[in-house]
């Protein structure tokens, strides 16, 4: 979760404002939302992902399912794919997840009933970057119609995203081989500070004529973690297919949570549908993204100033909340035991944990770990 420079959770000012508006609105009650969620939320959430001028929206071939966070959107999408993707029983359809990925991806698809879950090459530990060739090779050799889980931006946990040119190559192979793109978009806006930039990959695939799913989370970019605000955006070839798909998604939702929680969706819908509140929100998002970007550049410059062995440009080239530092498990253990700096054995650090007050200490500690432990 995001932290301020004081190391505290941050409720976005626009969220505070909108919550007050909601509290003061006596016409609002706690009645059930429709099964697919609050209509104003669904439409605005998908519009944010696909862009105001999306051809898919213009052609009325998109659908939205309000979900319990990004996880809920992934699960509903997975359950639907298992029932309806390529024929009526997709338990044997291969699902490809990046190596590494958010560890819950695997569990979501296993529990949705998929039996053949594989990994695709992604992180090149040696060069500390994207293993593009490995990725493309896996796309070429995957069985036709396989499902690929793609991180829309700010890859978790590596922070390493394909460049636009690399996305184009990925898309070309996926199109030729009839592979299904299932995007996980948990950091739109939060990654670069620009909603459009962080949605570039999803929109590119749409412009290339793909049918796709995009699981969106508003946990980070709205700071609404515990309100469980998510959305599954469905892009189809035609309106009728999407309608039928949504009617089946309703059935899945009905046996999972019946209808989604209203508070978080109201906050997001109110914010996104008001030009003024939208601008305020954008400013809040940029505040968060800029702080993380600042921490990245400050950490890198300190490491380079200290002469810490190795190259550290990956710290600023990576994006989003997390960074794969390249520290090995022994060095990580040193950081935890000797320096009381907590990070994962994979070397992943949460950039949000850095503050102007602890930058020096963290940089020195990394320097020690790298020089003392091999």
Residues contributing to the site for another protein (CB under 8 A): 1, 9, 11, 15, 19-20, 23, 29-33, 35, 67-69, 71-72, 75, 84-88, 104, 107-108, 110-112, 180, 211, 219, 223-228, 236-238, 241-245, 247-248, 250-252, 254-264
Q: Find the shortest distance in angstroms from Cβ 15 to another protein.
A: 8
Least separation in angstroms between CB 363 and another protein: 27
Annotated active-site residue 220? The verdict is yes
Q: Are 293 and 323 in contact (CB under 8 A)?
A: no
Least separation in angstroms between CB 68 and another protein:
4
Distance CA 96, CA 89 (A): 17
Active site residue 198: no
- What's the min distance (Å) between Cβ of 317 and another protein? 29
Sheet holding 229-235, edge to edge: 62-68, 229-235, 212-217, 180-185, 147-151, 95-99, 117-121
Nearest distance from C-beta of residue 298 to another protein, angstroms: 25
Answer for the pair 303, 359: CB distance below 8 angstroms, yes or no. no
Question: Smallest distance, Å, CB 100 to another protein?
Answer: 17
310: left (phi over 0), alpha (psi -120 to 50) or beta: left
Between 108 and 152, name the residue whose CB sits nearer to another protein.
Answer: 108
Between residues 284 and 331, which has the closer beta carbon with respect to another protein? Answer: 284
Q: Which is nearer to another protein, 57 or 370 (CB)?
A: 57
Q: 102 catalytic, yes or no? A: yes
Say if CB 311 and CB 318 are below 8 A apart. Answer: no
Task: Find the catalytic residue in 123, 184, 281, 312.
Answer: 184
Q: Which of 161, 220, 281, 312 is catalytic?
A: 220
Long-range CB contact pairs, 135-140, < 8 A, 24+: 135/162, 135/170, 136/169, 136/170, 136/173, 138/96, 139/170, 139/173, 139/174, 139/177, 139/179, 140/173, 140/177
Partnered with residue 162 across adjacent β-strands are none
Nearer to another protein by C-beta: 34 or 310?
Answer: 34
> Which one-letter DSSP state was computed for residue 54?
-
- Report the distance separating Cα 364 and Cα 311, nearest Å: 15
List 102, 123, 200, 312, catalytic entry: 102
What distance in Å separates the CA atoms of residue 344 and residue 335, rounded to the nearest whole number?
10
Q: Token digits for 36?
A: 């697919």
Residues classed as catalytic:
102, 184, 220
């Amino acid at each position: 979760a995001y932290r301020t420079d004081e190391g505290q959770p941050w409720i976005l000012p626009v969220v505070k404002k909108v919550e007050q508006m909601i509290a003061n609105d006596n016409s609002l009650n706690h009645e059930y939302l429709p099964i697919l969620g609050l209509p104003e939320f669904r439409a605005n959430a998908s519009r944010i992902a696909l862009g105001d001028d999306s051809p898919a929206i213009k052609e009325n071939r998109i659908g939205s399912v309000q979900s319990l966070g990004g996880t809920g959107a992934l699960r509903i999408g997975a359950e639907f794919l298992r029932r309806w993707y390529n024929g009526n029983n997709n338990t044997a359809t291969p699902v490809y997840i990046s190596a590494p990925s958010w560890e819950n991806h695997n569990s979501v698809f296993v529990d949705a009933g998929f039996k053949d879950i594989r990994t695709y090459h992604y992180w090149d530990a040696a060069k500390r970057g994207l293993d593009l060739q490995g990725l493309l090779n896996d796309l070429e050799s995957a069985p036709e119609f396989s499902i690929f889980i793609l991180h829309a931006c700010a890859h978790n946990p590596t922070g390493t995203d394909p460049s636009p040119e690399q996305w184009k190559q990925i898309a070309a192979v996926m199109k030729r081989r009839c592979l299904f793109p299932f995007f996980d978009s948990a950091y739109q806006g939060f990654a670069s500070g620009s909603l459009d930039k962080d949605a570039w990959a999803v929109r590119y695939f749409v412009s290339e004529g793909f049918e796709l799913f995009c699981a969106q989370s508003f946990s980070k970019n709205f700071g609404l973690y515990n309100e469980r605000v998510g959305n599954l955006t469905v892009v189809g070839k035609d309106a009728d297919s999407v309608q039928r798909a949504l009617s089946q998604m309703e059935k899945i939702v009905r046996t999972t949570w019946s209808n989604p929680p209203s508070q978080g969706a109201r906050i997001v819908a109110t914010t996104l549908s008001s030009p003024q509140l939208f601008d305020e929100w954008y400013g809040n998002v940029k505040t968060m993204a800029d702080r993380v970007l600042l921490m990245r550049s400050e950490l890198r410059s300190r490491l380079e100033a200290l002469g810490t062995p190795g190259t550290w440009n990956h710290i600023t080239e990576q994006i989003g909340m997390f960074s794969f530092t390249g520290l090995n498990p022994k060095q990580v253990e040193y950081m935890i035991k000797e320096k009381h700096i907590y990070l994962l054995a994979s070397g992943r650090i949460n950039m949000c944990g850095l503050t102007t007050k602890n930058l020096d200490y963290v940089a020195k500690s990394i320097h020690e770990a790298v020089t003392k432990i091999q």
